[in-house]
Protein backbone atom coordinates (compact mmCIF):
# COMPACT_ATOMS: atom_id res chain seq x y z
CA UNK A 1 0.00 0.00 0.00
CA UNK A 2 1.20 3.48 -0.79
CA UNK A 3 1.48 5.75 2.22
CA UNK A 4 1.16 9.51 2.19
CA UNK A 5 3.94 11.58 3.67
CA UNK A 6 2.38 14.35 5.73
CA UNK A 7 5.60 16.31 5.90
CA UNK A 8 7.14 18.22 3.01
CA UNK A 9 10.92 18.35 3.29
CA UNK A 10 12.79 21.52 2.46
CA UNK A 11 16.45 21.95 1.57
CA UNK A 12 16.48 19.12 -0.98
CA UNK A 13 16.87 21.38 -4.04
CA UNK A 14 18.22 24.79 -5.03
CA UNK A 15 15.09 26.55 -3.78
CA UNK A 16 12.34 25.94 -1.23
CA UNK A 17 9.62 26.64 -3.77
CA UNK A 18 10.90 23.71 -5.85
CA UNK A 19 10.92 21.53 -2.71
CA UNK A 20 7.32 22.55 -2.04
CA UNK A 21 6.18 21.63 -5.54
CA UNK A 22 8.02 18.29 -5.33
CA UNK A 23 6.11 17.56 -2.15
CA UNK A 24 2.85 18.34 -3.91
CA UNK A 25 3.71 16.15 -6.92
CA UNK A 26 4.72 13.26 -4.68
CA UNK A 27 1.52 13.50 -2.64
CA UNK A 28 -0.68 13.75 -5.72
CA UNK A 29 0.87 10.58 -7.11
CA UNK A 30 0.62 8.62 -3.86
CA UNK A 31 -3.04 9.52 -3.45
CA UNK A 32 -3.72 8.53 -7.06
CA UNK A 33 -2.08 5.16 -6.45
CA UNK A 34 -4.13 4.74 -3.27
CA UNK A 35 -7.29 5.45 -5.27
CA UNK A 36 -6.57 2.70 -7.82
CA UNK A 37 -5.32 0.11 -5.33
CA UNK A 38 -7.06 -3.20 -5.91
CA UNK A 39 -8.25 -2.42 -9.45
CA UNK A 40 -8.61 -5.55 -11.52
CA UNK A 41 -7.63 -5.71 -15.18
CA UNK A 42 -11.33 -5.80 -16.03
CA UNK A 43 -11.92 -2.63 -14.02
CA UNK A 44 -8.90 -0.88 -15.59
CA UNK A 45 -10.20 -1.60 -19.13
CA UNK A 46 -13.92 -1.04 -18.49
CA UNK A 47 -15.69 1.77 -20.33
CA UNK A 48 -18.94 3.19 -19.05
CA UNK A 49 -19.87 4.05 -22.62
CA UNK A 50 -18.03 4.00 -25.92
CA UNK A 51 -15.64 6.95 -26.08
CA UNK A 52 -15.36 7.28 -22.30
CA UNK A 53 -11.95 7.14 -20.68
CA UNK A 54 -10.96 3.99 -18.87
CA UNK A 55 -9.05 3.94 -15.61
CA UNK A 56 -6.11 2.34 -17.42
CA UNK A 57 -6.16 5.04 -20.11
CA UNK A 58 -6.15 7.75 -17.45
CA UNK A 59 -3.18 6.12 -15.71
CA UNK A 60 -1.38 5.96 -19.07
CA UNK A 61 -2.24 9.63 -19.57
CA UNK A 62 -0.59 10.54 -16.25
CA UNK A 63 2.53 8.61 -17.23
CA UNK A 64 2.66 10.26 -20.65
CA UNK A 65 2.28 13.72 -19.11
CA UNK A 66 5.27 13.12 -16.84
CA UNK A 67 7.37 12.28 -19.90
CA UNK A 68 5.95 15.08 -22.04
CA UNK A 69 6.46 17.84 -19.47
CA UNK A 70 9.96 16.62 -18.63
CA UNK A 71 11.03 16.43 -22.27
CA UNK A 72 9.25 19.51 -23.60
CA UNK A 73 9.76 21.92 -20.71
CA UNK A 74 12.86 20.74 -18.85
CA UNK A 75 14.91 19.24 -21.66
CA UNK A 76 13.59 22.01 -23.90
CA UNK A 77 12.98 19.89 -26.96
CA UNK A 78 10.01 18.46 -28.82
CA UNK A 79 9.21 14.78 -28.58
CA UNK A 80 11.10 12.64 -31.09
CA UNK A 81 9.09 10.69 -33.65
CA UNK A 82 9.51 7.54 -31.53
CA UNK A 83 8.48 9.34 -28.32
CA UNK A 84 5.51 10.88 -30.12
CA UNK A 85 4.34 7.47 -31.30
CA UNK A 86 4.71 6.09 -27.80
CA UNK A 87 3.16 8.96 -25.79
CA UNK A 88 0.74 10.77 -28.14
CA UNK A 89 -2.17 8.32 -27.78
CA UNK A 90 -2.12 8.61 -23.99
CA UNK A 91 -1.58 12.37 -24.13
CA UNK A 92 -4.57 12.93 -26.42
CA UNK A 93 -6.88 10.10 -25.25
CA UNK A 94 -10.13 10.58 -27.27
CA UNK A 95 -9.77 8.78 -30.60
CA UNK A 96 -6.87 6.74 -29.25
CA UNK A 97 -8.88 5.07 -26.47
CA UNK A 98 -9.23 1.68 -28.21
CA UNK A 99 -5.44 1.25 -28.35
CA UNK A 100 -5.14 2.29 -24.70
CA UNK A 101 -7.26 -0.65 -23.55
CA UNK A 102 -4.37 -3.03 -22.99
CA UNK A 103 -5.58 -5.85 -20.72
CA UNK A 104 -2.64 -5.19 -18.40
CA UNK A 105 -2.68 -5.68 -14.65
CA UNK A 106 -2.46 -2.69 -12.33
CA UNK A 107 1.17 -3.45 -11.50
CA UNK A 108 2.21 -2.61 -15.07
CA UNK A 109 0.60 0.82 -14.83
CA UNK A 110 2.07 1.40 -11.37
CA UNK A 111 5.57 0.50 -12.58
CA UNK A 112 5.26 2.81 -15.61
CA UNK A 113 3.99 5.63 -13.39
CA UNK A 114 6.84 5.12 -10.93
CA UNK A 115 9.44 5.23 -13.71
CA UNK A 116 8.01 8.35 -15.34
CA UNK A 117 7.66 10.17 -12.02
CA UNK A 118 11.20 9.25 -10.94
CA UNK A 119 12.61 10.70 -14.18
CA UNK A 120 10.51 13.83 -13.73
CA UNK A 121 11.54 14.34 -10.10
CA UNK A 122 15.21 13.81 -10.95
CA UNK A 123 14.91 16.49 -13.64
CA UNK A 124 13.12 18.89 -11.29
CA UNK A 125 15.77 18.46 -8.60
CA UNK A 126 18.38 19.74 -11.07
CA UNK A 127 16.50 22.98 -11.74
CA UNK A 128 17.72 26.32 -10.53
CA UNK A 129 15.25 28.85 -9.24
CA UNK A 130 15.90 30.93 -12.35
CA UNK A 131 14.88 28.03 -14.62
CA UNK A 132 11.87 27.33 -12.41
CA UNK A 133 10.46 30.84 -12.71
CA UNK A 134 11.69 31.85 -16.20
CA UNK A 135 8.99 32.93 -18.66
CA UNK A 136 8.08 30.30 -21.28
CA UNK A 137 6.06 30.99 -24.41
CA UNK A 138 2.81 29.10 -24.39
CA UNK A 139 -0.51 28.58 -22.68
CA UNK A 140 -1.25 32.33 -22.52
CA UNK A 141 -0.16 34.36 -25.55
CA UNK A 142 0.13 37.54 -23.47
CA UNK A 143 1.87 36.40 -20.31
CA UNK A 144 3.28 33.02 -21.29
CA UNK A 145 3.85 30.79 -18.30
CA UNK A 146 6.68 29.49 -16.18
CA UNK A 147 7.81 26.02 -15.23
CA UNK A 148 6.40 26.47 -11.73
CA UNK A 149 2.94 26.91 -13.26
CA UNK A 150 3.44 24.07 -15.78
CA UNK A 151 4.27 21.63 -12.99
CA UNK A 152 1.41 22.91 -10.84
CA UNK A 153 -0.87 22.40 -13.84
CA UNK A 154 0.40 18.82 -14.16
CA UNK A 155 -0.58 18.15 -10.53
CA UNK A 156 -3.94 19.83 -11.15
CA UNK A 157 -4.53 17.63 -14.22
CA UNK A 158 -3.79 14.46 -12.25
CA UNK A 159 -6.21 15.53 -9.51
CA UNK A 160 -8.91 16.12 -12.11
CA UNK A 161 -8.38 12.69 -13.64
CA UNK A 162 -8.29 11.08 -10.20
CA UNK A 163 -11.83 12.40 -9.76
CA UNK A 164 -12.78 10.70 -13.02
CA UNK A 165 -11.21 7.49 -11.74
CA UNK A 166 -13.31 7.68 -8.57
CA UNK A 167 -16.48 8.08 -10.61
CA UNK A 168 -15.51 5.24 -12.97
CA UNK A 169 -14.83 2.91 -10.04
CA UNK A 170 -18.27 3.67 -8.57
CA UNK A 171 -20.00 3.15 -11.93
CA UNK A 172 -18.08 -0.10 -12.50
CA UNK A 173 -19.16 -1.47 -9.10
CA UNK A 174 -22.78 -0.69 -9.92
CA UNK A 175 -22.59 -2.75 -13.11
CA UNK A 176 -21.11 -5.94 -11.67
Residue-wise pLDDT tens digits, 25-59:
999 999 999 999 999 999 999 999 999 999 999 99
Q: How confident is the model at residue 13 (pLDDT cuts 50, 70, 90)?
A: confident
Range of the domain at 63: 31-175
Q: Is residue 98 part of a domain?
A: yes
Q: Is residue 19 part of a domain?
A: no
H or E, element range at 3: none
Q: How many CB atoms are located within 10 Å of the residue 46 CB?
A: 20
Q: Is residue 123 part of a domain?
A: yes
Domain count, the chain: 1
Q: Is the pTM of this model over 0.85?
A: yes
Find the CATH number of the domain harbouring 52: 1.20.120.450
Q: Is residue 10 part of a domain?
A: no
d(CA 63, CA 117): 7
End-to-end CA distance of the chain: 25
Residue-wise pLDDT tens digits, 137-169:
878 888 999 999 999 999 999 999 999 999 999
Q: How many CB atoms are located within 10 Å of the residue 79 CB?
A: 18
**Cβ(27)–Cβ(156) under 8 Å?**
no
Q: Is residue 68 part of a domain?
A: yes
d(CA 72, CA 106): 28
* Maximum separation of any 2 CA atoms in the chain, in Å: 52
pLDDT at residue 125, as a whole number: 93
Q: Is residue 5 part of a domain?
A: no
Residue-wise pLDDT tens digits, 56-95:
999 999 999 999 999 999 999 999 999 999 999 999 999 9
Q: Is residue 2 part of a domain?
A: no
pLDDT at residue 139, as a whole number: 80
Q: What is the mean pLDDT of residues 113-123?
A: 97
d(CA 70, CA 120): 6
Q: Is residue 63 part of a domain?
A: yes
Amino acid sequence: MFKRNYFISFGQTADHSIDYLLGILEDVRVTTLQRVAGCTTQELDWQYREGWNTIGALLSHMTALDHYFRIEFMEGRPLTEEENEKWLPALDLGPHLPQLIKSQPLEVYVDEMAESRLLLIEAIKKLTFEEFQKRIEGYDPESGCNLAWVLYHMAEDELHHRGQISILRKLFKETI
